[in-house]
Amino acid sequence: MPRRPPRALRATAPHRRNDHGRSELLIGACPGPPVCTAVHTYLFVDGLDVVARSDNRMAGLAPSRLLRPGGPLHPTDAPRLAEVAAEAGPDPGPDRLTVRVRLLGETVIWSDLMYAGPDGTTVEEVRFRLDQYLGEIERAHAAFRDHP
C-alpha cells in the first residue's frame, strides 16, 4: 500500500461534531526541516485537515504567527479575515487561504470556507464552543512555543 503524504492524513481525533452542531478544533504542527521546508500548522476541524482539503497547494502558517495571544485565530465580536495558510514551496507563493473568524456569544464561527467534509459535501461554515476553541489555541501555543 502506498504511503499517504502528511497533507492527506486525518487527525487522530474521530469526527466529533456534537448534537448542537458544534465542531471541535485540533491544532498540530510539522517539525520543519528535514521533514518539511518550514514549520507549519495543521488545523483539524472534526478530524479533517482544513488546509489540505481546501487547497492542496497550501501549507499552514507558522505556529508563532497563528497561535500568538491576540493573533489571527482569536475571535472578536467584529468579523475579520484571518490568513491561515500560504502557497507551499521553497518560496511561498502569493496565494493565501483565509477564513472569516467571529464571535457570537459563546460560539466562534469560521465562515467563507470551501472544503470537502467527511461525507463529500462542501463545508462552508463551522461553529465551535468558545471554551474548547480557546483552550485548544492555548494548548497548541504552549506546545509549539519554541517553533518559529
Going by pLDDT thresholds of 50, 70 and 90, the confidence category of residue 95 is confident
Residue whose C-alpha cell is 504511503 = 3
Confidence of residue 6 (pLDDT cuts 50, 70, 90): very low
Q: Could you tell me which residue, 92 or 107, shows the higher pLDDT?
A: 107
Q: What is the mean pLDDT of the chain?
A: 83
- The model's pLDDT over 44-91, given as tens digits with 9 standing for 90+, comes to 999 999 999 999 888 899 898 899 989 999 999 999 999 999 987 656
Identify whether the C-beta of residue 68 lies closer than 8 Å to the C-beta of residue 75: no
- Rounded CA-CA distance 109/113 in Å is 11
Domain limits of the chain? 6-143
Q: How much is the pLDDT for 108?
A: 97
Average pLDDT, integer, range 94-108: 93
Residue type, 48: L
Alpha-carbon distance of 72 to 88, in angstroms, equals 19
pTM: 0.81
21-44: pLDDT as tens digits: 899 999 999 877 777 777 789 999
